[in-house]
Amino acid sequence: MKKILWPVLLLAMIGGLIGYNMWNKPHHDVSKGQADIVVSCEELMSSYEKNEEEANKKYLQKTVEVKGKVAKVEKTEEGTTIVLGSPESLTGVRCEMLDKNRGTNVMEGEEVVIRGKCAGSLMDVVMQRCVRMK
């Protein structure tokens, strides 16, 4: 019994340490370095409308820099979301800002460049951990 107990405890401790380190691992900072892909808002939305599977292969979980006009700024307790695209359109690019206070000084109709991680498409193309570049 003791021969089995010590290896099991050792494995449990190693597993716990690995889990703890992965849980506390910092997120990738999208504002540093180069974007994987630079694209316009219209081109990104069009790619997902034409073929979502191909667009996911190209954009999903990559650092994407999107340029477009601000259609809407949504402020909630969780943070700020900037929607790029046409105000008349039913779809757009939803950019969930990394910092709760980022994006609060953005005006509707303003041309912006936002960099973030593409998370795919629901109704809108979703970008997470975004920062405003210009």
| CATH code for the domain of 112 | 2.40.50.140
pLDDT number for residue 100:
62
User: Can you give the pLDDT at residue 49?
Assistant: 92
In a domain, 119, yes or no: yes
Q: CB count, 10 Å around CB of 17? A: 10
Residue 19, in any domain of the structure: no
SS3 134: coil
**What range does the domain containing 113 cover?**
37-132
pLDDT value, residue 107 = 87
Does residue 112 belong to any structural domain of this protein? yes
The number of helix segments (H) and strand segments (E) in the chain equals 3, 6
User: Would 59 be classed as within a structural domain?
Assistant: yes
**Do residues 118 and 59 touch, judged by C-beta distance below 8 A?**
yes
Cα separation of the two ends of the chain: 64
Residues sharing a CB contact under 8 Å with residue 94, sequence separation 6 or more, in sequence order: 81, 82, 83, 124, 125, 126, 127
Number of domains in the chain: 1
pLDDT value of residue 44:
94
Looking at residue 134, its pLDDT comes to: 67
Instruction: Please state the pTM of the whole predicted model.
Output: 0.75
Digit-by-digit pLDDT tens for the chain (134 residues) are 667 888 888 899 999 999 888 888 776 677 777 889 999 999 999 999 999 999 999 999 999 999 999 999 988 888 889 999 988 888 899 999 887 655 568 888 899 999 999 999 988 999 998 988 86
Residue 48 maps to a domain: yes
CA distance 50 to 107: 30
10 lies in some domain: no
Neighbours of 56 (CB within 10 A): 15
Position 88 scores a pLDDT of 81
Q: Is 79 inside a domain boundary?
A: yes
Residue 26's pLDDT is 72
